[in-house]
Every structure is written in structure tokens, then in C-alpha cells.
Structure 1
């Protein structure tokens, strides 16, 4: 895959991940700003990657620290505290799975989203 193809896949995955975060934020906090969700997805993915690189290999504790770092990003970016951040993350994950399932079943994209962990 070439550089342009990789960039397109990255951008589409980021936008899908941001859509999940946006849906979660609208449902949980009532905040509706898709651009803000895109930045949240990007920052969350970067933090997820860095913390995963540093601590992800620690059995048991590593994945927990990585997920808490991702929740911390959502908690800092949206109002409502840690429970709201967890709810936004859960809704983001479900929304991304639904969108990616539809897109993957039609052959438009693979099952992958940037900015939402576990997808």
C-alpha cells in the first residue's frame, strides 16, 4: 500500500472513530461538535499508542493503564467526570462497530477505526 492509500485509510478510520466519540458525547453529555470529536479521537489514539508502547507489555496492568489513559483524554475533553467518559467510550465503541460492520459488509472498508480502542 502506498503513502496516499495509507493516508486515506488513516483519515477514514479517524473520521469513523470520531463519529463514534461524537455519538457518545451527544448521548451522554449533549455536546455536539464533530470537529471536537475528531481532535479527541486523534489525541486519544496518540495517548493510547504512547502509553501502550511504554506500559502495554506489563501483564494485567499494562492494558488497564492504556485504557485509563484513553479515558483520561475523554474525561479532560468532555464534561461529566469519569463515569461520563466511560459511557462516551462505550457508546463510541458500539457506534464504531455498527458503522464499520455496515461498511465492511458492503466492501467499502475494512473493520478498523483510528481513535477508538479495540477496533
Structure 2
């Protein structure tokens, strides 16, 4: 059981970072102030990404469209707004991870925000 603690903690930290990035983005773009909603969005986005990214040749494009679709489904606005939320979340995740990894040397990523 002990060998599972490290990966579980890494998963939880990455999910919290991904949720925080989406929370910040949704707060800035559409003025939605709900961290638990952002956490669920990050989890659903990560699952959607995992289910679509394996497709040969088109996988990354399909996964990105699916991830934006999840944001579009979970937040008000259209596809353009969802894409902006996704872009701002990606930038926020980069900043959060830079600070976390520089200060605490965690070496974690952001679960639910692709590419970081």
C-alpha cells in the first residue's frame, strides 16, 4: 500500500493545480467563482483528453477539441469563450507550476490542463 502513496499525492497535487488554473481562468473570463466546479472540470477534461489523445495522427487535435468541449459544457459562453478559458487556464497552470516547482522542487504537472 505504501508504494501507492507517492503517485496518489502527485495525482492530487496535479489535480489541485489543474483545478486552480481552470478556476483562475473561469474567474477572469466569465466571472464564475467556484473552485469545486473547476476541479470537476479538470478531472472531466483529463479523462476526455485520455480517451481521445491516443487516436493516431488526429489524436492531439481531437483531444484538444474534446477538452474545449468539456469547458464549453461546464461554463457559460460559446466555443470561443471556452477556448479563451482553456488558453488562460494553460497560462495560469504554467505560472503556478513554475512557482511550485521552483520553490518546493516538486516536479509535478497539472492534471486536467493539457501540455503542462
Q: TM-score range by the shorter chain?
A: over 0.9
Match of 2:33 in 1: 32
The aligned counterpart of 1:112 is 109
Q: 2:99 — aligned with what? A: 102
Equivalent-residue separation in structure 1 for 2:63 and 2:13 (angstroms)? 23
Question: Unmatched 5+ residue regions in structure 1?
Answer: none
Q: TM-score, structure 1 length as denominator?
A: 0.92
2:77 counterpart of 1:80: yes
| Number of positions where the alignment pairs a residue of Structure 1 with one of Structure 2 | 115
Distance 1:19 1:52 in 2: 23
Of 87, 99, 108, which aligns to 1:90?
A: 87
Contact 2:13 2:108 in 1 (8 A): no
Structure-1 separation of matches of 2:109 and 2:52:
20
Which ranges of 4 or more aligned residues in structure 1 deviate by more than 4 Å?
none
Structure 2 residues not aligned, in runs of 5+? none
Matched position secondary structure for 2:107: coil
